Amino acid sequence: MPEGLGRAVAIAAGYYHSLALLSKRTVAAWGDDTYGETTVPAGLSNVVAIAAGDSFSLALQGNGTVAAWGDNFYGEGSVPPGAANVVAIAAGGYHSLALQGDGTVLAWGYNHHGQTTVPAGLSNVVAIAAGGEFSLALQADGTVVGWGDNDYGQSAVPWGIVNVVAIAAGA
């Protein structure tokens, strides 16, 4: 992280860029800026969470809104107008996820493998994760739901996986 920015309380890594959420609830970014992924929007403040995709960045603000910057070729940075009361965010390769306070998931961006087609009836979600071209959701009952690319079994949750408390997704 560049010197003199303050204390980082969270970090996120994209393909060739990195983000830090600073203790003063602002964002520092460094690395490749080909698509503007490290050009943090002026005035961005009250940030409570960050996420980095391949060439784009997301920030969740304390008022439940999402800010996006960087590459938007597939719409990964086009936050839907209905995205409100967001409590968590995740950035995949070229898609974005938002968890709303009511336990529902919003998804937007690249959808070649169905990674932004949220399964019908998905509810009671408490955590989300976005992989390269797939998505995961953790439900309040400890079960995990996956959708999108499954070429390597990455979105097919093995039978018998229960009482899960956290999830993460890779490329």
Q: Residue 47 domain-assigned? A: yes
Number of domains in the chain: 1
Give the pLDDT band (50/70/90) at residue 9: very high
Q: Residue 158 domain-assigned? A: no
- Sign of the torsion angle spanned by Cα atoms 153, 157, 160, 162: positive
Residue range 30-55: mean pLDDT, rounded: 98
Output the pLDDT for position 3. 62
pLDDT over 60 (residue 85)? yes
Q: Residue 50 domain-assigned? A: yes
The pTM is what?
A: 0.95
Each residue's pLDDT tens digit, 97-107: 999 999 999 99
Q: Residue 124 domain-assigned? A: yes
Q: Residue 168 domain-assigned? A: no
Cα-based distances in Å from 15 to 88, 113, 132: 21, 20, 10
Q: SS3 letters for 122-160?
A: CCCEEEEEECCCEEEEEECCCCEEEEECCCCCCCCCCCC
Q: Residue 167 domain-assigned? A: no
Mean pLDDT of the chain: 96
Domain span at residue 100 reads 8-148
Q: Residue 169 domain-assigned? A: no
| CATH number for the domain that contains residue 125 | 2.130.10.30
Each residue's pLDDT tens digit, 119-131: 999 999 999 999 9
Amino acid in position 152: Y
